[in-house]
Amino acid sequence: MRRSFSYILFTLLLAAIACACSDDIDIQQGYEFKVTHLPVPKKIRKGETVEIRCQLERSGYYENTTYKFRYFQPDGAGILRIEDSEPFLHNDYYDLTKESFRFFYTSQSEDQQVIDIYFFDSEGNSFTLRFEFNNENVEEEEE
């Protein structure tokens, strides 16, 4: 009886060691994410700047994940920057170093304006924000 118990205990110990040494351990590194923002005005005048307050929200956390963004403006003309940075160039990649951040968009057009901001992480996930602004014409308001 004692030998049977020792044999069972030895077998369980070997099984535990085999499981611990397995190459099949999967550590998740890529988590979905999204970027939320506070409401922004729908109308903007040429030369006016709109603040876009954003928050990076992750579904999980992996310390080594990095985030980047780029933007494109399919309609209108304007300048996008983050906090005190220089204006961004269309389609260039920029590092996102904070989870809470502010974009500032300055209109340079009297037409409708659309900006798309694409966010990417180092694990292959992405998220897109789209902002549409209509021209707020002062002359129309006075009539």
Backbone φ, ψ for residue 130 (5° rounding): -125, 130
pTM over 0.85: no
CA distance 73 to 77: 7
Tokens of 86: 């220089």
CA distance 65 to 67: 7
pLDDT in tens, 6-25: 666 666 665 656 555 555 55
pLDDT in tens, 27-63: 556 678 999 999 999 999 999 999 999 999 988 766 7
